[in-house]
Structure 1
């Protein structure tokens, strides 16, 4: 259950928070949701992938953890006489550590900065004011 919730949290995306200006009040929240989606699609078409922020960090953290674990496991295994087994155990434990630490990192988990910039500008051109992302 914890793993499923963690994966869902990792896949969730940040949303722009719109300042309640006159334009937002005049068009309503439903229209604003459609405009946000249209701006997200516009950013994707422009080449700014939404999910590269968190997904890239998780993949990198897992790979780095596996590499570091394999190296340290091989050294430990060589000392005890079984470098291959030590390397395999180290790689597996390092990958798990890298995955978990990346999923629960305190860093930003939002979309790429380029995606945020394009969506924010698109919304601004449509009359909205983006107060931030969360």
Structure 2
């Protein structure tokens, strides 16, 4: 839905909803935000739609207290770019993260066709442990 990709506030809401809620609810969320042929490239690893849905549902199951903040946001035609930081508990451990995201958005529906993301994360107060290579 375009409300999730046309403004910084909408995209932040989208990011909040992505990892908040029960794992079994992620498929419905993904269908609202992404086109059926959507794919996600995370730290150079490509996930097709079904893999993406499964992976995010698993993240919902093991994470909590997810607090993303979109600092920069640019939407120009069918292109979207954003920078996000935040915290979340992963298996009970408080982590911090930073992500840079680039996406192509379907002009008519406002849903994302693909998302390319580069993220680093690790325990709060320590150097990032993941995504740093």
TM range, normalised to the smaller chain? under 0.3
Structure number, greater radius of gyration: 1
Higher-helix-fraction structure: 1
Higher-strand-fraction structure: 2
TM-score in terms of structure 2 length: 0.25
TM-score in terms of structure 1 length: 0.25
Q: Which has the higher contact order (CA 8 A, sep 6+)?
A: 1
